[in-house]
Amino acid sequence: MSVSRRLVKELISDLPLASVNFAFAYGSGAVSQENERMEDKMVDLILCTKDPQAFHNENLQLNPTHYSFLKWFGPAPITKLQQSTAKVFYNTQIRTKSGRLIKYGVISEQDLKTDLLDWRWLYVAGRLQKPVVDVIEPTADIANWIEQNRLSALQASLLLLPDTFSYSQLFEKIVGLSYKGDFRMIVGEDQAKVAKIARGNADRLEEVYAPLLQADERVSVQNGNVLQHLFKNKLKMHSQDASTPAIYHRLNLLPYEVMTRLMLNWNKEHKTMIDAEEIQVLFALARRHDVADHIERTISTIVRDSSLRQTAKNALSAGVLRSIKYSSEKLIKWGKSIQKAKEEKK
């Protein structure tokens, strides 16, 4: 279940959308999570624009109250701040005409491309690996980048999974990729968030990833049974080729930033006199039993770096009062999730 596109489009109707060539809503206010209500939650959005400075220039005239003290510096400095770190500028805790709260981030088309294809920050790319609501349909190019990003998410997740796995295991790995290394998962976020997203969106995740999985020649479906039929294939088990050539193949399909950091980490750990070439590192990794640990640590460093810096930037773009309010709400929710987890263990 997700919020309707029409409703979200109404929420952003006061924004200047002429330069926006893709917009989507994400998060618990837009897409259902297990045992969560969407109705009263803030709706998170990302707007991709061909010209971020033109967007901010017009938006400052139309909606100056959306911005913190940064509005006094004008569109050029705001755009410069946007293009630091994870390349997103957020306006948060915005009350729309309908009374619903929204938070919207702005990113340039080129930066979106870099994140989707290379996982340079794994920030917007991570959000688009999960179910979202397309508010403004992506262009053909952007749609292709999104598909490549999801294919990369599948390859990375398969490297983290055992030889046999279920859809539910796969979906939790995919959803969890962009949360690895995020300090907010230690303080501030619901501890069961990944599982809630995966279980609450199993049908939509299957719709996206089942065709990609079926097209993978190194994955096969095990023989079914009565339980699998009764539960509409959610218990269906898959087997993947775990041979060295298969793992080497998957490693070669990982995004550029992951590959680069794998190389740097390998050469640093082994303190070689001469840096090993990519083919040597990937082949050596493919033969190791702990290849999943290397992949997981590498992805974690990307997420950690971008999430820390983007959070600091968000504090500037939101302003002091909005930052305190937003952080307080997050901490209260986090505390409730900790308490609930303790009660379930009793």
| Residues 189, 335: Cα–Cα separation, whole Å | 9
Q: At what angle do helices 291-318 and 256-270 cross, to 10 degrees?
A: 120
pLDDT band (50, 70, 90) for residue 332: very low
If you ran DSSP here, which 8-state letter would residue 319 be given?
-
| Residues 105, 314: Cα–Cα separation, whole Å | 10
Average pLDDT of span 96-122: 96
If you ran DSSP here, which 8-state letter would residue 273 be given?
S
pLDDT band (50, 70, 90) for residue 343: low
Output 80 or 190, whichever has higher pLDDT: 80
Average pLDDT of span 176-183: 86
* 31 closest CA partner among 4, 68, 2, 60: 2
* 190 closest CA partner among 63, 39, 200: 200
pLDDT band (50, 70, 90) for residue 117: very high
Phi-psi category of residue 269: left, alpha or beta, with phi > 0 → left and psi -120 to 50 → alpha: alpha
pLDDT of residue 1: 60
pLDDT band (50, 70, 90) for residue 228: very low
Q: Rg for the chain (alpha carbons), in Å?
A: 21
Determine phi and psi for 167, rounding to 5 degrees.
-60, -45
pLDDT digit string, tens, across residues 252-296: 999 999 999 998 888 888 766 456 678 888 999 999 999 999 999
pLDDT of residue 338: 44
pLDDT of residue 2: 72
Q: Any idea which residue has 């199993």 for tokens?
A: 202
Contact call for residues 184 and 311 (beta carbons, < 8 A):
yes
Output 344 or 221, whichever has higher pLDDT: 221
pLDDT digit string, tens, across residues 28-49: 888 877 777 777 789 999 999 9
pTM: 0.88
Average pLDDT of span 55-69: 96
pLDDT of residue 181: 78
